[in-house]
Amino acid sequence: MPSTARSSRPCSSLPFVLLRSAPLLLALTCASAQAANFNAADIAHHGAWESLTLTLGDEHHYRAVDTQSYSDATLSVNATQGVCDLPWLEVRVTLEEQQGESRAVDLVPTRLRVDDRTRFDSMAEFITERGDDGFYVHFYLNDVSTLLDEMATGEQLFLGFDQTDADPWYMTFSLDGASEALARMQRLCAAGG
């Protein structure tokens, strides 16, 4: 594996002004008060990426994930059984402690770009979940298919998040192995397990 595909840089060293000081914009509606822990299976490695199946009872999700670009953050593309054609993009940053409540922390303008290709302007929602040590970023994208096509043939995904009272927050994820991981995620989802 190339040394550039793996980085031990922590994402948490990036500014998280929003997490600590932003007002509550929207209460999350959760079926339970605790974050759900899914069972991971069918894990396959693809360069800096992995593909896997997540299950909890009859619920099945399929994931392609970069676990190597940051020591405390992941980028994942997720699909759900029955709606495989509606994948979603998510970033998860590990925080220092379990969160006491589920809430939307902020909604911010975001830019995504694969290499030097098309720039995707979007909004990203920053979320915490009760009982989970993760800080989640969910993206509202109009053209997920084009972004995923570009990710499958690109080298890096660049993310830029605007912050009201601070400099923009940037992240860069390796796409080494993304093509294989995304294709396998879709095959697993289409096969239903």
pLDDT at 192: 85
136 lies in some domain: yes
Q: Give the span between the Cα atoms of 19 and 111, in whole angstroms.
A: 19
User: Given the structure tokens 């993304």, which residue do they identify?
Assistant: 178
C-alpha torsion sign, points 91, 11, 20, 106: negative
Please state, as a whole number, how many other Cβ atoms lie within 10 Å of the Cβ of residue 72. 18
Q: How many structural domains are present in the chain?
A: 1
Of 46, 64, 62, 44, residue with least CA distance to 54: 62
In a domain, 27, yes or no: no
Q: Give the closest residue to 182 by CA, choosing from 110, 112, 87, 73.
A: 87
Through-space distance between the first and last CA atoms of the chain, rounded to whole angstroms: 29
Contact yes or no for 161/169 (Cβ under 8 A): yes
Full domain range(s) for residue 164: 39-191
List the one residue out of 115, 112, 118 whose CA is nearest residue 153.
115
Residue 9 pLDDT greater than 70, yes or no: no
Q: Is residue 23 part of a domain?
A: no
pLDDT band at 164 (very low <50, low <70, confident <90, very high): confident
Asked whether the beta carbons of 181 and 174 are under 8 A apart, the reply is no
Asked whether residue 3 carries a pLDDT value surpassing 70, the answer given is: no
8 located within any domain: no
Residue 159 has pLDDT above 50, yes or no: yes
Residue 36: the pLDDT is: 63
pLDDT tens digit sequence for 50-102: 999 999 999 999 999 999 999 999 999 999 999 999 999 999 999 999 999 99
Label residue 165 by pLDDT band (50, 70, 90).
confident
166: pLDDT confidence band, cut at 50, 70 and 90? Answer: confident
Q: 11-45, pLDDT tens digit by residue?
A: 443 333 333 322 222 222 222 223 467 899 999 99
CATH number at residue 178: 2.60.40.1880
Cα–Cα distances (Å) from 81 to 27, 58, 84, in that order, read 27, 10, 6
Q: What whole-number distance in Å separates Cα of residue 11 and Cα of residue 70?
A: 6
